[in-house]
Amino acid sequence: MRWPADFAGDPSWRRTPEQQRAFEAAIDSADALYGIPDVNPLALARAVRSNPRLSWVHTMAAGGGGQVKAAGLSADELDRVLFTTSAGVHGAPLAEFAVLGVLAGAKSLPRLNRQQRDREWSGRWTMGQVSEQKVLVLGLGGIGRIVVQKLHALGTTVIGTSRNNISVAGVAEVVHLDRLIDVAPTVDAVVNTLPGTSATERLLDGRFFGALRPGASIVNVGRGTVIDEAALIDALRSGQVGFAALDIFETEPLPADSPLWELGNVLVSPHTAALNAAEDRLIAELFAANATRLLDGRSLLNRVNTVEFY
């Protein structure tokens, strides 16, 4: 491991053939797996098909459903093995990054950075007040609810999205995803916490960005596939989107030729906002709690939806 929660490990390290055989033999004797072997969907598929006694796999990622989907398992295999994720473990650090993004947009961070770089002492201007702003939080799951708590504590008016008719403390209004275009012109910032599914793919597209209040901020701590990056780049260049704080992208690592690297109104974070020193312990505690539930015959926390894979 090169850093906490580096479950893939150093990519230059390889097992010897003897080590690989021993590794696979251990996997093939297990009733449960703590993590996807080598964080590799192909290795997961091999494990499920080689081990008929395997009944539960816990993924280290909050969005582990995408890894399960990529394994290409059959309906029978998905029915035989329970899959759970580490959703919730990363909520607090991701929520802090989301607040950073909202604040940076309100406080003109791109302009401040440019003027400092150019040694320009300009005239004064009025910065946005987060306590007077309205923020749209996409998704009211584990991460979204913590984002709401932190923004609400700053006095922000929060609109949340959900497919269900729910009430969440700190949320002034809950809207369905099919109403995004309606609420877009009313918000100062958008925080995405949604998982990557067929229903959320490129949900934030050119039509959505065009409907936004000019100069609004975009923060992504959900999945990169939720945002149409080409449309976002166009909106950033035109100023329709004033600022974007992005911790996750459609393609990772972010390609060197992506315009996002050089746009002055973008903060690029290399998928590191969730990382914290307690992550390994928190995931282990979640796994232990689920192991207890499994042995007691109770339902498991964070079950992967094997239809939409979130």
Torsions phi, psi of 243, nearest 5? -160, 145
Task: Kindly give the pairing relationship between strand 82-84 and strand 32-34.
Answer: unpaired
Helix and strand element counts for the chain (H, E): 11, 10
Contact 195, 167 (CB under 8 A): no
State the Cα–Cα distance between residues 211 and 170, nearest whole angstrom.
25
Contact 271, 248 (CB under 8 A): yes
State the Cα–Cα distance between residues 127 and 69, nearest whole angstrom.
44
Q: Which residues contact 248 (CB under 8 A, 6 or more apart)?
A: 220, 221, 222, 223, 224, 271
Q: Which residues are catalytic?
A: 223, 252, 271
**Ordered alpha helix ranges (H), the chain:** 17-27, 41-50, 65-70, 75-80, 91-106, 109-117, 142-153, 180-183, 206-211, 229-238, 279-295
State the Cα–Cα distance between residues 100 and 154, nearest whole angstrom.
12
Cα-Cα-Cα-Cα torsion 185, 190, 196, 202, nearest 10 degrees, comes to: 40
Query: Using the 8-state DSSP alphabet, how is residue 244 labeled?
Result: E
Nearest 5°: the CA angle 59, 34, 277 is 75
Answer positive or negative: Cα dihedral of 148, 109, 227, 283.
negative
What is the Cα gyration radius of the chain? 21
